[in-house]
Structure 1
Amino acid sequence: MPTESSYPLQDIPDIDLWDFLFERKDRKFPDDKVIYLDPYTKRSYTYAQTRKTALDFGKGLKSQWDWQKGDVLAVFSPNCIDTPAITWGTLWTGGIISSANPSYTVDELAFQLGDCQAKALVTQKPLLKLAVEAARRVGLSPDRIILIGDERDEQGKFKHFSSILNISGVARWRKPRIDPAKDLAFLVYSSGTTGHPKGVMLSHRNIVSNTMMITLGEWRHLSWDSCPDGKGDRVMAFLPFYHIYGLTNLIHQSLYAGFTLVVMPKFNIEDFCSIVQEHRITFIYAVPPVILLLGKHPIVKKYDFRSVRMINSGAAPLSKELVEAAYKNVRVPIKQGYGLTETSPTTHTQPWEEWYATVGSVGKLLPNQVAKYMAPDGQTEVPIGETGELWIKGPNVCIGYHKNPEATKQALTPDGYFKTGDIGYQDAQGNFYITDRVKELIKYKGFQVAPAELEGLLSSHPKVADVAVVGVHIPHEATEVPRAYVVPATGVNAGKETEDEIVAWLSERVAHYKRLRGGIRFIDAVPKTLSGKILRKVLKEKAAQEEAGNAPVKAKL
């Protein structure tokens, strides 16, 4: 039988995100509560300022560009305290937000802009050149590019978002009727094994439900007005806002619960430690590579972490060894959660009181969901304690994949289960464990890398005859990295010079997290089935042997 959550069932209101966040009657914190804070500039937004800026921006969109329900606003920016207001202003119009990784190349950004059919693009000044070129390639007019952040365009060619805040000054603009279960709020791109990222369609109801689920399962331990100084919990925000982890768990959760979110544009270990100490951070969402730094980086010992009540790690598996090393160094409890872009994202989390008792578990199922582990036949549910593929059903499960009905059909069952592609089991106490992945995605520090995308690029190099890419786990970095197994073209010297050339060539064509940090191994032939499918398991086993020092650099397969 499928496992149901042990938490009380939540009554999910049938309302859109704007009404859920800004028209609620149960808010306990005041209008002047600071929600978003930039620790570098000290600029901030209170709850009331966020609401007003969002409303003015939404009206400005309608006035400036005749913004319509269903229009897509793309956001190409590092973390910025202006992002939440931009987001909800767009949703107020009935529009959709599609955020892109700020490390994207022109080609990668252009693909997303074209696929989501963006009607406008928000970025920051340092990214303007790349953004303009990507927009040009998909026919998006330069006057539909606007800036957020503290820097302005001195030449005045590109407007700052503040210049279009309800510029008409009239009250005739109205929020359209939104169907929470059917209308999209976000189009979040997640890498797929076919190479190009897939647009995950998330409705208003998806995000509303997950926000409520996380509140009960995680944030019930936090308060907007507690803590010794009476200012409430302060949450560190360095996880990227364009990623579903940051989008829901940081942007939405902080506004709904009334906590102060201290926003870093990007992670830096010394700045991170300094901000924790200066702002007395009480809760941190993190990823395993950051946990690794907390356990090993010498600078950590120079700072005071006593204000931190809990760290939650997600996006990739967290080992017991990493938890123990970090706890020894900073003396802060560290637990783990689990989720996917397609589930908005969080489905499981370890209860605070069980953070060490169940190290290695991703925790218990959050409210309003059911889950089961399925046998490879896709028909049989495996018993408790046995390994299978995790399937999840709940109001947080996405509508499907944008313009990809075949992928949607493969991922979602007729009765509403999402096939996660992750392998694991649950114990008799309701703790879930993830042990492997069916999907071939490589997870580099929380980022998803599609092997097929890299293979497609590498195969176009003149010195590459054939290629396969797999993920190699690097323990000292607590992450996977991409490694390419290359069959060199006839007459090509399979040596270090060629390896360096190909690695550098690819680095110029992909985002930083897709680079071949695992290097290249030259082989005689890529192992494949008779039908031509790459036998990645063979290569991953070979890679494991190489990392253990049991195989030469030049593999012979």
Structure 2
Amino acid sequence: MPTESKYPTPPIPDVDLWGFLFERKDRQFPDDKVIYFDPYTKGSYTYAQVKNTAVEFGKGLKALWDWQKGDVLALFTPNCIDTPAVTWGCHWAGGILSPANPGYTVDELAFQLRDAGAKALVTQLPFIQTARAAAAKVGIPEDRVIIMGDQRDATHKAKHFTSIRNTSGSARYRRTKLKPADDLAFLVYSSGTTGHPKGVMLSHRNIVANTMMIKMAEGGNLDWQGGPSGEGDKLLAFLPFFHIYGLTCLIHQSLYSGLQLVVMPKFDLEDFCRIIQEQKVTFGYVVPPVVLLLSKHPVVAKYDLSTLRMMNSGAAPLTRELVDSVYNRLTIPIKQGYGLSETSPTTHTQPWSDWNKTIGSVGTLLPYQTAKYMSAEEKEVVPGEVGELWIKGPNVFKGYLNNPEGTAHALTEDGYFKTGDVGYQDKEGNFYITDRVKELIKYKGFQVPPAELEGILVSHPKINDVAVIGVYHEEHATELPRAYVVPAAGVENHEKEKLEIATWLSERVANHKKLRGGVHFVDEIPKSVSGKILRRALKAKALEEMKAAKAKL
């Protein structure tokens, strides 16, 4: 039988995001509560300032560009405290926001703008050239590429979003009425494993539901008042706002719960530690690569991180070795959560009280969720058996934009989303994710989860970072597990060192999980901005290595 969430399930209000966030009757914190804070410039937005700025921007969109319901506004920018106001101003005007990775090339950005049907683009000044070039490729007029942030365009060619807010004649416009379950709030782009990114269609109801789910999971522990500084809990935001993890867990949760979000434009380890110390940050959403740095990097020892009461890791599997390593070094507990772009994102998290009881688990189902693990033959498996996770709930997306085939493959007729993630649940209802279906290494019929081996290997004192992939070996007619290792400082690139690592692992895993594909030293592991290992880049590297080796024969 499918597993149901054990949380209470209060009714989800039938309102769009604007009504949910700004017209609610149950808000406890005051209008002047500072929600978004920039630790570099000391700029900030209170709850009231976000609301007022968003209304003005939304009115400006309608007055200047005749903004219509369903029009798409693209956002091409690192994290910025202006992002929430721009986002909800777009929603106020009936629009859909489509955030894009600021690391995109012109062609990559142009693909998203074209696929989403974007009518305008917001960026920051350092990214204006790429933004303009991509906009020109898809026919977005130059005057619809605007900037936000602290910098202004000295040439005055690009308008600042504040000038959109101040458009004359905008006062007469009213908020666009939306249907929460039907109308889209966001078009986020999921990287996938092959081909172009897919546009994930998320409705207002999807995000409303997920924000409520996160609140119910974290709400008893995170408070808008109190805390070590008397200012309430503070969350550190370096996770990108263009990714669903940052979009919902950071931007929406902070405003809904009255928590201060300390906003970093990008991750920098020393800044991360310094800001936690200076701002007395109490909670952090992180990803495994950051957990790894906290466990090993010497710069961490320079700072006092003791105000951190908890961290939550997501985006990739987290192992006991990493959790124990950070706790032993810093006495900071780390729980784990799980979610996907298609589920808005969070579907599971470990309760705070269970962080050290079920390490390795992504926790239990959040409210409104139903889930089951399915075999390759699409038959439900019993607790303890491995299968693909399928999830159903009000947070599950509406489908992939312009991709009916992908949508049909991902969603079942009875509403389940096939996550593509492999794992199992125990008898107590704790869920475990071991790997992606497509990333499992097949060695002579045995399944080898790369994340499991990586979790063990990072605890080796001579390893700073690691990724494991399968490389096909013609002679053996099977994939062989291979580790790409970033060695610790002072470790020589010698066969003796590599053999030692392979032997060390073989003593800790089953026979079919040994590193028969070898150990290769590299300068860094390629990763996405959300912390996922880019295994396809490593597989391409392995292919080149094998071609080079053959050429020498």
TM range (shorter): 0.7 to 0.9
Structure 1 residue 358 corresponds to structure 2 residue 358: yes
Counterpart position of 1:264: 264
Counterpart position of 2:173: 173
For the residues of structure 2 that align with 1:511 and 1:276, how far apart are their CA atoms? Answer: 20
C-alpha displacement of 1:226? 1.4
The equivalences for 1:203-352 within 5 A come to: 203-352=203-352
Structure 1 residue 383 corresponds to structure 2 residue 382: yes
Counterpart position of 1:529: none
For the residues of structure 1 that align with 2:550 and 2:8, how far apart are their CA atoms? Answer: 56
| One of 532, 536, 542 as aligned partner of 1:521 | 542
C-alpha displacement of 1:9? 1.2
Q: Say if 2:315 and 2:530, in contact at 8 Å, map to a contact too.
A: no
Distance 1:331 1:73, change over 3 A: same
Name the SS of the counterpart of 2:284 in structure 1.
strand
Larger deviation, residues 510-519 vs 102-111: 510-519
C-alpha displacement of 1:523? 6.8
Counterpart position of 1:141: 141
For the residues of structure 1 that align with 2:231 and 2:245, how far apart are their CA atoms? Answer: 25
C-alpha displacement of 1:254? 0.2
C-alpha displacement of 1:441? 10
Tell me the TM-score normalised to structure 1 length: 0.82
C-alpha displacement of 1:134? 0.9
For the residues of structure 2 that align with 1:94 and 1:126, how far apart are their CA atoms? Answer: 29
Q: Say if 2:229 and 2:280, in contact at 8 Å, map to a contact too.
A: no
Counterpart position of 1:28: 28
Counterpart position of 2:417: 418
C-alpha displacement of 1:168? 2.1
Tell me the TM-score normalised to structure 2 length: 0.83
Count residues with an aligned counterpart: 484
Q: Say if 1:484 and 1:519, in contact at 8 Å, map to a contact too.
A: no
For the residues of structure 1 that align with 2:61 and 2:96, how far apart are their CA atoms? Answer: 13
For the residues of structure 1 that align with 2:339 and 2:362, how far apart are their CA atoms? Answer: 9
Counterpart position of 1:117: 117
Distance 1:271 1:120, change over 3 A: same
For the residues of structure 2 that align with 1:518 and 1:296, how far apart are their CA atoms? Answer: 27
Distance 1:437 1:226, change over 3 A: same
Name the SS of the counterpart of 2:423 in structure 1.
strand
Structure 1 residue 198 corresponds to structure 2 residue 219: no
Unpaired stretches in structure 2, ≥5 consecutive residues: 442-449, 475-521
| Residues 60-94 of structure 1: per-residue CA shift (max 9 Å, x gap) | 00011010000000000000000000000000111
For the residues of structure 2 that align with 1:113 and 1:486, how far apart are their CA atoms? Answer: 41
Counterpart position of 1:5: 5
| Residues 15-37 of structure 1: per-residue CA shift (max 9 Å, x gap) | 00000000011000000000000
Distance 1:300 1:193, change over 3 A: closer
The equivalences for 1:433-444 within 5 A come to: 433-440=432-439
Q: Say if 1:76 and 1:101, in contact at 8 Å, map to a contact too.
A: yes
Name the SS of the counterpart of 2:432 in structure 1.
strand
Letter in 2 for 1:23: E
Distance 1:18 1:522, change over 3 A: closer
Q: Say if 1:390 and 1:419, in contact at 8 Å, map to a contact too.
A: yes
| Residues 519-552 of structure 1: per-residue CA shift (max 9 Å, x gap) | 72357999xxxxxxxxxxxxxxxxxxxxxxxxx9
Counterpart position of 1:533: none
C-alpha displacement of 1:10? 2.6
For the residues of structure 2 that align with 1:34 and 1:150, how far apart are their CA atoms? Answer: 18
Letter in 1 for 2:288: P
Name the SS of the counterpart of 2:321 in structure 1.
helix
C-alpha displacement of 1:324? 1.1
Distance 1:171 1:40, change over 3 A: same
Q: Say if 1:34 and 1:45, in contact at 8 Å, map to a contact too.
A: yes
For the residues of structure 2 that align with 1:54 and 1:291, how far apart are their CA atoms? Answer: 35
Counterpart position of 1:74: 74
Letter in 1 for 2:33: K
C-alpha displacement of 1:483? 9.8
Distance 1:110 1:434, change over 3 A: same
Q: Say if 2:22 and 2:51, in contact at 8 Å, map to a contact too.
A: yes
Letter in 2 for 1:520: K
| Residues 260-281 of structure 1: per-residue CA shift (max 9 Å, x gap) | 0000000000000000000000
Counterpart position of 1:432: 431
Q: Say if 1:481 and 1:516, in contact at 8 Å, map to a contact too.
A: no
Distance 1:482 1:54, change over 3 A: farther
| Residues 448-487 of structure 1: per-residue CA shift (max 9 Å, x gap) | xxxxxxxxxxxxxxxxxxxxxx999684455648999999
Name the SS of the counterpart of 1:439 in structure 2.
helix
Counterpart position of 1:64: 64
For the residues of structure 1 that align with 2:323 and 2:5, how far apart are their CA atoms? Answer: 26
| Residues 140-159 of structure 1: per-residue CA shift (max 9 Å, x gap) | 11110000111111000000
Unpaired stretches in structure 1, ≥5 consecutive residues: 443-469, 488-502, 527-551
Counterpart position of 1:51: 51
For the residues of structure 2 that align with 1:524 and 1:317, how far apart are their CA atoms? Answer: 28
Distance 1:231 1:291, change over 3 A: same
Counterpart position of 2:478: none
Distance 1:43 1:86, change over 3 A: same
For the residues of structure 2 that align with 1:155 and 1:127, how far apart are their CA atoms? Answer: 15
Letter in 1 for 2:255: L
Letter in 1 for 2:220: R
Larger deviation, residues 200-209 vs 470-479: 470-479
